[in-house]
Amino acid sequence: MSSCLKTDDFLQNQAEEDEKKILAYLSQNNINATRSPTGIYYVITQQGTGKQPTSLSEIANVDIEISLLGGARIVGEKDFTFRFQNGLSINGIIEAASLLKAGGSGRFFLPSERGFGQTSGVINGVNVPANSVLMADIKLHAVRNDEEQKLAENGLIQQYLLDKKLIATRDTMGVFYVRQTEGSGNFIRTANRVTINYKGSLLNGKSFDSGTISFAVGAGAVIQGMDVGMRLMKKGEKGIMIIPSHLAYQDRGRGEVIRPFDPLVFEMEVTNVD
């Protein structure tokens, strides 16, 4: 029990110390900010006219820049999409984004408990001490449900095809396929074992993986969109498969390159079918 009380005392003292730092910064810079019930101070720099988030199941698309209070920039992301209920490594960002309407922007001052807490480390080359107060600039572009997100990604893929001057067919589940060199024999079917050479990238061209793999189609060994798309190919075929996020890594993302809700582009060659 005594250890719990000590922890509570520490958190309370830290919250008070963080608030002093925020108030001092606001005063020094003549900033008039509003305080949220959780201790986040914020200034709405542009009023939005669109939808305001109301549900944790909703999806937000934002530009975001996070810095140490009065210091170095830690994170800068353009066109970043996330689902509220999945959370982020900085939980205060979820609350901050929910204070905006689509089209709006704001500056938010996050006490350490709403940021990285007692965690310290180097992020993007910046030393972030434990109990750091953070400053975040957020522009909320859109608030979407799942169907609206699919439509948004479909638009991004269509624009990619237009920019690359590619003609694609679209599977009923949403996979786009560009046939570059036609293969021979029958189309690949469920349970066929295939070997493919591939290169994976994002719509912006950033590469995340490449290599050769063998797998049984339909067995769940690869992302769902690749299982679906393989049925559009034959042995010896080369093509480009573009997979929306709901058939890839969805709202989770993967690794450091694939963000939540990123469509994926695969340049592929089927070298063998059993």
Handedness of CA 64, 66, 72, 73 (dihedral sign): negative
Question: What is the share, in percent, of the chain residues with pLDDT greater than 70?
Answer: 96
pLDDT tens digits for range 118-153: 999 998 999 999 999 999 999 999 999 999 999 999
Exposed, middle or buried: residue 138 (CB in 10 Å: 0-12, 13-18, 19+)? buried
**Structural domains for the chain:** 2-143 (3.10.50.40), 147-273 (3.10.50.40)
Question: Stretch 13-30: mean pLDDT, rounded?
Answer: 96
pLDDT tens digits for range 164-196: 999 999 999 999 999 999 999 999 999 999 999
Residue 4 has pLDDT above 90, yes or no: no
Which residue type does 35 have? R
pLDDT of residue 81: 96
User: Could you tell me which residues come within 8 angstroms of residue 259 by beta carbon, excluding any fewer than 6 positions away?
Assistant: 80, 81, 253
With 0.85 as the threshold, say if the pTM is over it: yes
User: Length of the chain in residues, anyone?
Assistant: 274
pLDDT of residue 32: 97
| Residue 39 token pair | 């201790």
Residue 8 has pLDDT above 70, yes or no: no
Handedness of CA 108, 112, 116, 120 (dihedral sign): positive
Compute the distance between CA of residue 101 and CA of residue 4 in angstroms, rounded to an integer. 39
Compute the distance between CA of residue 168 and CA of residue 150 in angstroms, rounded to an integer. 18
75, 64 Cβ separation under 8 angstroms: yes
Question: Stretch 58-67: mean pLDDT, rounded?
Answer: 97
pLDDT tens digits for range 84-96: 987 677 889 999 9
145, 61 Cβ separation under 8 angstroms: no
CA nearest neighbour of 140 among 63, 49, 234, 253: 63
36: how many CB neighbours lie within 10 A of its CB? 16
